[in-house]
């Protein structure tokens, strides 16, 4: 069985009219996967999560939760006055690549049931507090539609508004991240704008180049048809520098072919990263079967 190599692989009280407008189409872009008490979300290229604990919202109760999220005693914890709930807010950053940082936001919120719900957001650009407040309120007010939540066991997936049948050999490794052993893997996000989709793809490529244990050995732009639309894709061949690499050992492969695409898909835009190993099943069209579900190479 193969292990995923890249982790991709992250809200102000608005006026009623504006908030209502935001609700019109967000469910078409938002997806979520539930894992026991935690829920993982992806929308507009941002991964975030919520998890509820039975702890009291007190110094003693929060201290145990802080450890789970690697929050230090020295980290500044402030109340976000723009949320209608008792809360503490923490931010930190970590370097993930040359000239690239990951920004993290954490909200420890006392919910309506007097329990602590933790919201965690991750970005490769600076945090968007308006975005955070919108989704915190939607989640706490139970405004996320049922269709947003994906089944844990995969039979088919909702790919930006189109149902794709996959069978039962594939599985989730993250929200909007599916892996089909020996048939390829892909992750995607649905965006409101093409610029947002392109930024997400550029960030993923930067992470690929900086990943330890391997290097980019070939890179080119190719013409593709992605979900019925002509588009440009960045094709990268990624090789591994050590024969003892855990990923190489588990997959049996030596190189990974990766496609990065940002394109209009139906009424929204999609960023998508697709990959397969050199020893995966590869069709006569030079793609793994999973990739062919959404993309074809132009002759």
In contact, 85 and 99? CB cutoff 8 Å: no
Confidence of residue 4 (pLDDT cuts 50, 70, 90): very low
Give the closest residue to 229 by CA, choosing from 272, 176, 189: 272
pLDDT in tens, 81-117: 999 999 999 998 888 777 788 889 999 999 888 899 9
CATH number for position 143: 2.60.120
DSSP annotation of 150 reads: P
Same domain as 209, residue 258: yes
pLDDT in tens, 142-198: 999 999 998 888 888 999 989 999 978 899 888 999 999 999 999 999 999 999 999
Same domain as 189, residue 98: no
Same domain as 274, residue 189: yes
Same domain as 191, residue 237: yes
46 Cβ contact partners less than 8 Å away, ≥ 6 residues apart:
10, 121, 122, 123, 128, 131, 189
Give the closest residue to 277 by CA, choosing from 214, 199, 189, 185: 185
Same domain as 197, residue 139: no
pLDDT in tens, 199-212: 999 999 988 888 77
Same domain as 278, residue 191: yes
In contact, 232 and 260? CB cutoff 8 Å: no
Give the closest residue to 234 by CA, choosing from 243, 242, 223: 223
Torsion of CA 199, 127, 174, 190, to 10 degrees: -50
* Boundaries of domain holding 292: 185-297
Q: Are strands 229-240 and 171-174 parallel, antiparallel or unpaired?
A: unpaired
Last residue of a domain, one of 119, 148, 177: 148
Q: How many structural domains does the chain have? A: 2
Residue 129 parent element (H or E): helix 129-140
Helix (H, G, I), strand (E, B) or coil at 74: coil
Residue 9 lies in a domain: no
Same domain as 127, residue 81: yes
Query: What does pTM read for this prediction?
Result: 0.81
Same domain as 97, residue 189: no
Is the pLDDT reported for residue 27 higher than 50? yes
Last residue of a domain, one of 101, 130, 148: 148
CATH number for position 206: 3.40.1000
């Amino acid at each position: 069985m193969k292990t995923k190599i890249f982790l991709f692989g992250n809200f102000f009280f608005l006026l009623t009219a504006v908030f209502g407008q935001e609700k019109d189409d967000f469910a078409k872009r938002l997806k979520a996967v539930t894992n026991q008490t935690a829920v993982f979300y992806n929308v507009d290229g941002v991964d975030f999560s919520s998890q509820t604990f039975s702890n009291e919202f007190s110094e003693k109760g929060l201290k145990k939760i802080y450890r789970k999220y690697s929050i230090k005693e020295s980290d500044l914890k402030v109340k976000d006055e723009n949320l209608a709930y008792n809360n503490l807010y923490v931010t930190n950053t970590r370097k993930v690549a040359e000239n690239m940082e990951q920004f993290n936001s954490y909200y420890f919120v006392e919910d309506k049931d007097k329990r602590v719900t933790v919201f965690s957001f991750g970005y490769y650009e600076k945090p968007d507090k308006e975005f955070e407040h919108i989704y915190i309120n939607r989640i706490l007010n139970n405004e996320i539609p049922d269709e947003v939540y994906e089944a844990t066991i995969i039979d088919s997936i909702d790919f930006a508004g189109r149902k794709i049948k996959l069978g039962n050999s594939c599985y989730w490794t993250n929200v909007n991240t599916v892996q089909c052993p020996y048939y390829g893997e892909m992750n995607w996000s649905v965006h409101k704008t093409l610029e947002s989709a392109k930024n997400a793809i550029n960030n993923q490529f930067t992470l690929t180049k900086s990943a330890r244990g391997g290097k980019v050995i070939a890179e080119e732009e190719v013409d593709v048809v992605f979900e019925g639309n002509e588009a440009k894709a960045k094709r990268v061949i990624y090789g591994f520098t050590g024969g003892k690499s855990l990923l190489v050992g588990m997959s049996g492969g030596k190189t990974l072919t990766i496609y990065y695409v940002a394109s209009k898909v139906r009424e929204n835009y999609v960023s998508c990263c697709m990959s397969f190993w050199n020893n995966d099943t590869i069709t006569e069209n030079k793609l793994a079967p999973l990739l062919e579900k959404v993309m074809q190479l132009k002759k």
